[in-house]
Amino acid sequence: MRSTVIKDLYNLIIKANWGFSSTMSRSRGFGGKAQSLDSKHSSESGAFPRFNDSAISVNSSYMEVVDSGNRLRGVASFFGLMSLGPILVGIGALVYVLFGFSERLPLIVHIFIWLAVVTFFFIALPGLNTLVRWDMFRKTHYPMRFNRRDRKVYAWSQDMGVVTMNWDDIQFYTSEATKSQDRRGMSREEIRGYVRDRNGNMLYHLVFFKYEGLKGMKGVLEIWELVRRYMEEPDGHIQAYQVDQRLLDLEGKRESFIHSLIQATQVLADSRAVQLIFAPMVMWAGTGRIIAKCTCRVPRWPEWVEEKCQVAPNDPYVRNRHNERPLTAKEILWPLFCFLLGWAEVLVILYFCFRGYF
Other beta carbons within 10 angstroms of residue 185's beta carbon come to 7
Distance in Å from the first CA to the final CA of the chain: 57
What are the start-end ranges of the E strands in the chain?
33-36, 55-58, 62-65, 144-147, 152-156, 162-166, 171-176, 189-196, 202-210
- How many CA atoms lie less than 13 Å away from 275 in the CB half-sphere? 23
Task: Give the span between the Cα atoms of 78 and 135, in whole angstroms.
Answer: 9
| Domains of the chain, residue spans | 2-74+134-251+308-319, 79-133, 255-295+325-358
- Supply the DSSP string of 154-197, one letter for each residue: EEE-SSS-EEEEEGGG-EEEEEE--HHHHHTT---EEEEEEEE-
pLDDT at 101: 80
The parts of the chain modelled with pLDDT lower than 50 are none
Instruction: Name the pTM for this structure.
Output: 0.91
What pLDDT shows up at residue 294? 94
pLDDT at position 7 is 86
Please report the pLDDT score of residue 204 as a whole number.
96
List, for residues 48-73, the tens digit of each pLDDT value: 999 999 999 999 999 999 999 998 99
CA angle 248, 288, 336 (to 5 degrees): 65
Instruction: Residue 288: name the closest of 77, 116, 122 by CA.
Output: 77
Whole-angstrom distance, CA of residue 143 vs CA of residue 163:
11
